[in-house]
Structure 1
């Protein structure tokens, strides 16, 4: 996973995703709460549903100081947009995800005994919450979103949306054994060919 590798780079204190832990201190048990609104980056979602770029995400976070680092918990809430996996109609919804992750201090035993891609880090007293929120949102989004639970999808013959079609909607299915005869005259009279009587005149 690449997200923890990103946490080892120096986070920008100007980013709304980044929170300073200096006020929190390192005494185990210290706690601070933060509420802020950030804007969704590009690509925050799956192929058929996600949070549109620039859409506000409401963060409600609690930071707790521990012996090995800072534990971040809370929720993230945002509106999502996508399309129904059955009928392809646009849909909108909202998602609220629970957050919980330890950001290890640079001089802690956790930092020393884990690989770069295993645990997030506190870098210069700063923590970057973007990767944590991104992972939680991606796990919460449905792989096959539906406009309604009982969506019937599309008619396989004409592609119409079943929800918009009449109750008696259907298509005549011709037995393939008779398909070769479709459009062929069934008798000389039907074809317009002269009958025996006409030939004798």
Structure 2
């Protein structure tokens, strides 16, 4: 939660905020994650506008993953940017209300909770979208051998497995070698 009281509600006022936050839960995709308990850094710019508070920011942290080709563990820096408008609450009790024309957009809008911004859903979305879908330890990682599972980067150029014929086809090979056989 970020307090916006110092910003005020005067359109045009601006404030910057930097925070280091510990994640209460992991932000993950199938192959990469920013683990639970990891610290992330938030650099925020809060701007008061007519409709609410415009938040522009970057989140920086460290992701962990496995290479999608060779399964080598890796860890690297992650940086994600985001921008979101938090609307002022319309009612006196601090809750948001939507008119008929805004009913479809109500689920997509974020609202201030009093003078506080809940950045967790926005930060989570930005981080998860920035995680790599197929992380690689090196851009030209050759992966694993499909026969024995050894890392091809370590196997060397002479790595091979015989003639490459599947033993299940060996009976057909004997027929091909002797076409007159019945």
Q: Which TM bucket (shorter chain)?
A: 0.7 to 0.9
Q: Match for 1:83 among 41, 66, 70?
A: 66
User: Hey, what does 2:133 align to over in structure 1?
Assistant: 143
SS in 1 for 2:70: coil
Matched, 1:131 2:131: no
Distance, in Å, in 1 between the alignment partners of 2:166 and 2:152 is: 24
> What are the ranges of 5 or more consecutive residues in structure 1 without an aligned counterpart?
1-17, 183-201
Q: Give every structure 1 segment of 4 or more consecutive aligned residues whose post-TM-superposition deviation is greater than 4 Å.
A: 175-178
Does 2:146 match 1:156?
yes
Residue 11 of structure 1 is matched in structure 2 by none
Report how far residue 111 of structure 1 moved: 5.7
Query: What is the number of equivalent residue pairs in this alignment?
Result: 164
Q: 2: distance between equivalents of 1:100 and 1:75? A: 9
Equivalent runs, 1:50-69 vs 2, <5 Å: 50-69=33-52
CA drift of 1:41 comes to: 2.9
Q: Distance in 1 between matches of 2:131 and 2:12?
A: 33
CA root-mean-square deviation: 2.2
Matches within 5 A, 1:4-153: 18-107=1-90, 112=98, 113-114=102-103, 115-153=105-143
1:65–1:180 CA distance, 2 compared to 1 (3 A): same
Q: Which has the larger radius of gyration?
A: 1
